Structure 1
Amino acid sequence: MQTFDMTMLAEQSGFIGSVRLSDGLICDSMFANQTCIDAFGVRPVKRLELLLTDVAAQLARYPAGTQAARLTHYRIPPNGSENEPLALELEAIVIQNDHELGDYLLLAQIDELSHMAVLSAAA
């Protein structure tokens, strides 16, 4: 699974440490119907910021040391497709000792993750 370093943007939303987002999560935030974006006045980067702020607030409710969590984020604005749900199911997993990337928090859509692949990448 391809991931992208969003640490600088995530720090503005309250995260501390390295944060990586999956390709699918980035695409979901960046690709939305232009009519819908214009109606809400929220541009793609702002959608990504809203997602990170919401996830940071939800993760803050978990006890310190939590290694994985499932979250629901409600897209603001929705992407404009009537066939796509407003809710986006996410998973946050702490990855430690990754040989290439070190330690980081991985945020991805639940259906993107293969836990064995994620864990073996860090081994």
Structure 2
Amino acid sequence: MNYCIGEFSKKIRLSIDTLRYYEKIGLIYPSRDKINRRVYCEKDIEWLNFIFRLKETNMPIKEIQYYSKLRYEGDSTLRERLKLLEKQMDRLYTQKSNIENNIVHLEKKINTYKKMINKTVIKD
């Protein structure tokens, strides 16, 4: 199914201005009809959902733009796209490790404070 920009904007829950901005910075490349109006399809929905996911992983926008450029160039860029995704996965694992270390540290501090509070309450 094909959508004009207004329909697509509502379906994907992005403003028309945002869609135009995404096109301007090279994240999406919608098709055009005979009178040069943007035409979107289901594959564009899938692609934008993937972009949203990359943004959720905190992939830098420059890398998302580069990934998008490569995607539109076709399958000859699969290796380069794979490298970008693997690099982002490494970042996520590093972030996960840092978060886990911070959780352990905070749990220790919280337990220390609880023990101190319990000692104070017992003395009173």
Highest RCO, 1 vs 2 (Cα 8 Å, sep ≥ 6): 1
TM norm. shorter chain > 0.5: no
TM-score, scaled relative to structure 1: 0.30
Larger Rg: 2
Counting helix residues as a fraction of each chain, which structure ranks higher?
A: 2
